Amino acid sequence: MKTALTSLLVLLACSLGSVQAASDKPLKPCTVVSPTTERFFDLSGLRRTLPKEGDKKKDADEGSWHARGYDYGANFTVNFCGPVVEELSDVQDLDKKLWRNVSAFYERGDRQYAIGLENSEPIFRGRKLILNYTGGSLCPSTPSKRSSPVSLPREIIGDDDDDDDKKHKDKDDDSDKKNKKPSSEKNERRKTTVISLLCESDPLAKSSISFVAAVDECTYFFEGRSRFACGIVHADQQTLSPGGVFGVIAMIAVLVYFVGGCVYQRTVMHQRGWRQLPNYAMWAGIWRFFSDMFIILTSSCARFMPSRRGYSRVSLGADSRGRGRHDESENRLIDQLDEEWDD
């Protein structure tokens, strides 16, 4: 009894431990779980890659995603959770080793401008699913403010000592200006991209991305629509398959049935031995049925097994008289039995 209870507790502890381990499992790249709805989002289906050798090319899916810039003066090329498929040749203000990590760019003339590097971690801003790319080309410098009119101070005629102090002060100011770095280097900004993903519930509609706006040619906003942004139930929360979960539940139910029945039979019905099992009469009848079937099957199969010694007719005599007397005695015995049966 104690062993059954112990095994039940161990099974429950293992099931709780597996659920806890599944909740701590890190998410795959390009996936996220909504903090408000607890739904699971997998955007890896939106990522486009180069077709492998032997695969049939699809005209509609060739290359990365494209968005028309309209009044911006350039069209955009974007990919989700990965670099663009196209080969870049001359990306402005970006090291050549980083060209293969560009996830969004546009072209103006012969120049290419990156508006974000690869990022495979979507995030949530409230209920909005966001994918953010940073580290693109340098933003254009803002125009300097108009210089205000300078008022010329009146010349003060002083002593030579004052003139010497003024010269030393001017030299110190010039040295300070040389040591100071330009403020533009400290305030260096790079182009970034923000993509807001919306759910497309129509199963026949295709995924799309559209350009929304650009803030001072430094931050670019896009809007994407896809069925991958609708979210599903988080299947990674459980480590067992549906069949495994059903099996665990069935094992727990069987253990509860036997343990509870044994406790009832022992404490209330004062049964001992095998009679402590719940529904002992039913289980005993099932056992007898199977044992009887086993005996019947084994005995019927034994008839078909070849015997080592065959049967032979026993000779009662050499002449016909002996056989005749034997037949007459058998007939008299049969008649006698018939008369007794009639009486």
C-alpha closest to that of 116 among 229, 214, 226, 228: 214
At 157 the pLDDT is 43
At 341 the pLDDT is 67
User: Has residue 335 got a pLDDT over 80?
Assistant: no
Task: Give the lowest-confidence range in 30-34, 37-41, 156-160.
Answer: 156-160
At 19 the pLDDT is 46
Residues 251/252/258/263 CA torsion (nearest 10 deg): 160
At 116 the pLDDT is 95
Mean pLDDT of the chain: 76
Task: Give the lowest-confidence range in 42-46, 163-167, 234-238.
Answer: 163-167
Mean pLDDT across the stretch 267-285?
82
At 155 the pLDDT is 45
Task: Give the lowest-confidence range in 91-100, 145-154, 289-298.
Answer: 145-154
At 76 the pLDDT is 96
Distance, in Å, from the CA atom of 42 to the CA atom of 117, rounded to the nearest integer, reads 20
At 31 the pLDDT is 92
Domains of the chain: 27-50+61-140+188-234 (2.70.130.10), 245-301 (no CATH)
User: Has residue 133 got a pLDDT over 80?
Assistant: yes
Is-above-0.95 flag for pTM? no
pLDDT digits (tens, 9 = 90+) for 307-320: 555 545 554 444 55
3-state secondary structure of 146: coil
Provide the pLDDT confidence category of residue 10 given band limits of 50, 70 and 90: low
At 54 the pLDDT is 56
Provide the pLDDT confidence category of residue 183 given band limits of 50, 70 and 90: very low
Distance, in Å, from the CA atom of 152 to the CA atom of 89, rounded to the nearest integer, reads 53
Which amino acid is it at 46?
L
Residues 201/203/206/211 CA torsion (nearest 10 deg): 0
C-beta of residue 159 within 8 angstroms of C-beta of residue 98: no
At 273 the pLDDT is 81
User: Has residue 104 got a pLDDT over 70?
Assistant: yes
